[in-house]
Structure 1
């Protein structure tokens, strides 16, 4: 395979194109006429020092790339695939026949103009640090306003943001032993700060008729080939989305061996080719990114099937498991869900991978700031095609309903249509708002909703609330504040809060420890009752989550009538998981008996429980001891001095007074003045706030990955992972670096289908 590469901004130099102008006089004159100045003079002599300015740089590079391509083509060059870096993507689309030379130049001229007008920030190249480490460094130091704009190679990244934030990031990067080189640019390109330019360019593109590529072009924003009808959409997105160059080359690697030719480069110049060096590094250090396809059974393993045997093959059977309505509702190949896990453990990469594999994953938005969630949405939307599903978690914020509402408003602003509602005990204004804002009446007069809520519940009364229409008093309140239209308020009574309910049995994290064989049938029966009561047009789907980590457990779920299965614990020990490598290594060695119940920090006083990893850790024992002390004593001062000293030295690593002061600062920072008043007035509440600090500390340790206080890690996980570890022992999935979340999902579904099929055939024989 031969790949043609086109350079982007940064490859310009005075004197470029000197051998091209005389060879293409018509195109040269046309370019000068469109631009309103001499393109030859700009590129060869640059008398006014304008070649470095974005409005001039971009048209100049586009013209030189285009003429270089025409020359290469006349010399007999052919390509099987095309890719361009940022601006270079326009040259790739020109070569693919999406528009003519003049149209492309007009697009680039406008792009350069809009990007040149943008301001308020800058960019810097980070050399010698991988993306995961850089993202963690920025997050640890609260530099969430800095975006990763270019993923040029595994060790060459570009960050974008406000100048002060970039300077702070540069100091941190340098302190870690990497290099940070400021770039001479006027704005933070390929970041969230370019959205106004993106919107203006999208409007400009509406005046042009762009055709689909005749040769595959790998898009910067998706690292996948352009699909039909996507040229204008992806060109607009590119302005404010990161350049996924590393993933683009890995995708090409996954297609097979390839050679490349770089258009527009001047090998005679110092440094040689620009993109070629990046490609060589990626091919040397990274693995191919292979698209997962349904595996076919080896020919040698097949057996003769009698004519009357119409049982589907395992692969087809896997796609038929669960509810067809559920798969159709979300555009899925498999009735398989990767549930959300706290603080981005269900990461952007995990959600994207699931969508690309024909399943759906939900981002673990719980514990993330609004800025972090917004950045994640942008990353997901830039990498997935419109038909590839994704969702985000909405965690009930019992203590902070304003944050819950702000999160929903953010989702609505970005057009998010799928959420996973977790930890809700009743319907809330924010949850109802999300659902109602998606309601409409179709051409046949039937009420539909484009906003889907997957509710994770473990109690029947909560399931009933989700299976019922929104509460009237909440609908009326939203209408009164003009948050919904009168039509949406009227339609509310005709649809349930959620068509999709996940019966959450014994699981990792918050759990009521319910038995799936009791919980799932009860919820399915409840669903049938409510469907008849309200005469719903669409079916309610009830799936199962908790304890699913092997084909046998998944088969049991489907055999009980689960419309879909939801996995959690097994996904946090994958390459795409947002857990640290330290945590993944701990989880990889866990067995089914290596979990324990501990108090939940956010429900400490109420006695809520979470299931956590205990192997090699002291957190479960210490967390339970804190709750025992809380129930036994009325205040901190009543606890014996020897025990308090033990808490300070082994649990908190600081004095109880210091812990209380930190708790106060946290509550003040979050505007929770009423909580402060209550804690200061009631010693029991003050003790709870101090003890709650330990749970937050243990969580920070686990997400930070520091080995210094490993025993205090809080790692929420269920025994399903232990069962999964046992199932894959001795296979390619035994080591977590080989666990791709998409491949695991497909493999589990296919193995489940075979398990069920073998069981059916065995009973028949």
Structure 2
């Protein structure tokens, strides 16, 4: 079998196209009309020396590539496969019948306009280092603003990012073995996160185009696998911010039986690159949940060995990483009262992961200010999210999320899907040309029970949709599309964790939720995959590795991030947390659901809060009013727990609760007792956040045993002290450690087999 290869930017040169413009004069004339200038003159003579300008390079290469393809297939049959490098992919799709010559040129013209408008970026080719070695250098020297743009061959990688970092990295790459480091003459950081703004503009532009069924398979740069009939537009958009997997694409074609590769376009860049690839052993790659199996095949087609390479960047699933534009399938969860701070969110984003801002108990005005701060700091398409709790201020929070166009939301503490959450989900709902229905807001639902998961895995309840439509909070078009998508894009299964918890076990919860997801996705026929993540108990590489083996598409951490520099809690709390072990947490009543008996997991070592909180709940169950409790016990509560009189607490409660609720409580002594006891939970949380050393024994600190496990893992290292802990550094160490553990385990199993 044979394949045609279509080159991209970098292959342009004056004189390209030659006599083809005269031979295909009608198409040349059409192209000039669409572009607004004489394409033949520009390609043949480049009179104003603009052929190297992205704005003109891309249309010129498309036209020449398309004409060369038409000329070549006039003499021979079309190939079995098509493959284009970046811009060349448009020529490949034209050749395969996805669109007409004119439509392809309109797309390329717009693409060039959008891409040429992205400034302050840079790219460089690195020769002599493998992909893993390039990633090691980027991590070693903390180049946080550089992405992989092209994986061209086993030892040729193109990087892309902020121009100053790309230029500064040259010395470090050469010091670590790069034979050549060549900065490219481009104005933007193509195929990187910094093209995110261009992505949105291009996605909007593509909505008016329809793509025809492919007559020949085309290998996509983004996936290194053939396009299907429904994902052309989506992959063309994703190509702007994703790396070109050229080496993997060629390896896939060779494994499929392709032996003849013909470059169709100006120059011979791809021919030389292909000669280099085919001269070396070929790697055929398959990947599932982070395990990247690479079968090495030598020049004569035999398989001398099988190797399994597991990398931190491939743990989880590619679909999840691509959806959120992150390098690692790792999230940091929200923590109540803003402990998951804006600084933590920004740091995670810049490290290629995603964090959620904690909003529980935080005034929506402050949340809005934090969102503005985050958006100002993250202007290169980095991923971030905001927490939304099922709380009395939920409607206000939804207003804020919609006002600031927050792209990712962590929905937590929901038992039933609320009307406010459905409003957030459906507002701005639209249908793409390929039929896919998308929402501007991605929702990740954090949950612990199958019945709750089922609510999020189904479309929004018709009654809630109808109510929103009647209230004119959504449009008729949005309501009509509601049945096509689930309430949540993804779900995160929370096992034994800090804060509110059902004390679930990941080994039983996660497989059950995955099967439930598979069943409901099949029944509803969703077009997009719903990813299932794991949270709770993840504080070490071993725990992360176990989650991925169980089938988690991503992991989410919480407790370990509370004991970092970025966490917005007191130093006094962090001093306590850095010394705990796995047995140093306990369960206590949840203040916000005190009467129901719901429980939270909290710090036990060094504080008396768990015992005192449980004592209050036992008294609540035993007595019908505060006056029924004996005088000595009441005195103990007032002097030791509350540190103030019941009268003072009563006044605080009267000021806090709405008048109608407080009036009802006055008529119900047991409810008034509950309100007085609830006060202690709010008080104990506030003094922990402010670090009142005089009241340390009353600190309420939500925490799970994962932090104890983390503390034991880092004992004797600089990370033993929380002042050296940063949330993103911890995440990278856990992910790399998990990859190393899985690599070693699989190696042992393989050798045993």
Report the TM-score when normalising by structure 1: 0.59
Q: Is the 8 A contact 1:501 1:542 kept in 2?
A: yes
Q: Is the 8 A contact 1:635 1:684 kept in 2?
A: yes
Q: Does 1:647 align with 2:637?
A: yes
Distance 1:447 1:584 in 2: 44
Name 1:589's counterpart in structure 2: 579
Q: Does 1:637 align with 2:627?
A: yes
Equivalent position SS for 1:593: coil
For 2:707, which of 713, 716, 721 is the aligned residue?
721
Distance 2:304 2:591 in 1: 59
Name 2:461's counterpart in structure 1: 471
For 1:376, which of 370, 376, 380 is the aligned residue?
370
Decide whether aligned partners of structure 1 residues 684 and 254 sit closer, same or farther in structure 2, where only a CA change above 3 A counts.
farther
Decide whether aligned partners of structure 1 residues 373 and 711 sit closer, same or farther in structure 2, where only a CA change above 3 A counts.
same
Equivalent position SS for 1:615: coil
Distance 1:214 1:566 in 2: 31
Name 2:654's counterpart in structure 1: 664
Distance 2:645 2:169 in 1: 55
For 2:435, which of 430, 445, 451 is the aligned residue?
445
Distance 1:565 1:309 in 2: 32
1:696: how far off? Answer: 0.4
Name 1:710's counterpart in structure 2: 696
Q: Does 1:349 align with 2:343?
A: yes
For 1:485, which of 475, 481, 484 is the aligned residue?
475
Decide whether aligned partners of structure 1 residues 213 and 761 sit closer, same or farther in structure 2, where only a CA change above 3 A counts.
closer
For 2:360, which of 366, 371, 375 is the aligned residue?
366
Q: Is the 8 A contact 2:145 2:350 kept in 1?
A: no
1:255: how far off? Answer: 11
Q: Deviating runs (4+, > 4 A) in structure 1?
A: 213-216, 223-227, 249-257, 305-310
Paired residues for 1:273-352 under 5 Å: 308-309=304-305, 311=307, 313-314=309-310, 317-352=311-346
Name 1:764's counterpart in structure 2: 750
Distance 2:604 2:167 in 1: 42
Distance 1:363 1:532 in 2: 33
Decide whether aligned partners of structure 1 residues 329 and 595 sit closer, same or farther in structure 2, where only a CA change above 3 A counts.
same
Q: C-alpha deviations, 1:700-756, integer Å up to 9, x for none?
A: 100111211110000000000000000111122111111111111111011101101
Q: Is the 8 A contact 2:569 2:690 kept in 1?
A: no
Name 1:691's counterpart in structure 2: 677
1:449: how far off? Answer: 2.1
1:443: how far off? Answer: 2.0
Distance 1:253 1:601 in 2: 52
Q: C-alpha deviations, 1:139-167, integer Å up to 9, x for none?
A: xxxxxxxxxxxxxxxxxxxxxxxxxxxxx
1:607: how far off? Answer: 0.2
Name 2:452's counterpart in structure 1: 462
Distance 2:648 2:410 in 1: 37
Q: Does 1:501 align with 2:501?
A: no
Name 2:664's counterpart in structure 1: 678
Q: Is the 8 A contact 2:559 2:704 kept in 1?
A: yes
Name 1:130's counterpart in structure 2: none
Name 1:625's counterpart in structure 2: 615
1:446: how far off? Answer: 2.0
Decide whether aligned partners of structure 1 residues 504 and 543 sit closer, same or farther in structure 2, where only a CA change above 3 A counts.
same
1:473: how far off? Answer: 0.8
Distance 2:121 2:413 in 1: 49
Name 1:422's counterpart in structure 2: 412
Q: C-alpha deviations, 1:70-109, integer Å up to 9, x for none?
A: xxxxxxxxxxxxxxxxxxxxxxxxxxxxxxxxxxxxxxxx
Q: C-alpha deviations, 1:560-618, integer Å up to 9, x for none?
A: 11111110001111111112111111100010000000000001000000000010100
Decide whether aligned partners of structure 1 residues 764 and 255 sit closer, same or farther in structure 2, where only a CA change above 3 A counts.
closer
Report the TM-score when normalising by structure 2: 0.60
1:371: how far off? Answer: 1.2
Equivalent position SS for 1:394: strand
Q: Is the 8 A contact 1:344 1:368 kept in 2?
A: yes
1:533: how far off? Answer: 1.0
Decide whether aligned partners of structure 1 residues 554 and 688 sit closer, same or farther in structure 2, where only a CA change above 3 A counts.
same
1:426: how far off? Answer: 0.5
Q: Is the 8 A contact 1:456 1:502 kept in 2?
A: yes
Q: Does 1:530 align with 2:530?
A: no
For 1:571, which of 554, 561, 564 is the aligned residue?
561
Q: C-alpha deviations, 1:263-301, integer Å up to 9, x for none?
A: xxxxxxxxxxxxxxxxxxxxxxxxxxxxxxxxxxxxxxx
Distance 1:620 1:256 in 2: 55
Q: Is the 8 A contact 1:426 1:465 kept in 2?
A: yes
1:318: how far off? Answer: 1.5
Q: Does 1:212 align with 2:119?
A: yes
Decide whether aligned partners of structure 1 residues 254 and 693 sit closer, same or farther in structure 2, where only a CA change above 3 A counts.
farther
Distance 2:648 2:371 in 1: 37
Distance 2:166 2:718 in 1: 21
Decide whether aligned partners of structure 1 residues 493 and 655 sit closer, same or farther in structure 2, where only a CA change above 3 A counts.
same
Gaps (5+ residues) in structure 2? Answer: 1-115, 124-142, 148-163, 173-294, 297-302
Gaps (5+ residues) in structure 1? Answer: 1-208, 217-222, 228-248, 258-304
Q: Is the 8 A contact 2:145 2:165 kept in 1?
A: no
Decide whether aligned partners of structure 1 residues 255 and 597 sit closer, same or farther in structure 2, where only a CA change above 3 A counts.
farther
Distance 1:698 1:365 in 2: 18
Name 2:103's counterpart in structure 1: none
1:213: how far off? Answer: 4.5
Distance 1:355 1:439 in 2: 26
Q: How many pairs are equivalent?
A: 475
Equivalent position SS for 2:338: coil
Name 1:731's counterpart in structure 2: 717
Supply the RMSD in Å over aligned alpha carbons: 2.8
Greater shift in the superposed pair: 574-583 or 464-473: 574-583
For 1:748, which of 711, 734, 751 is the aligned residue?
734
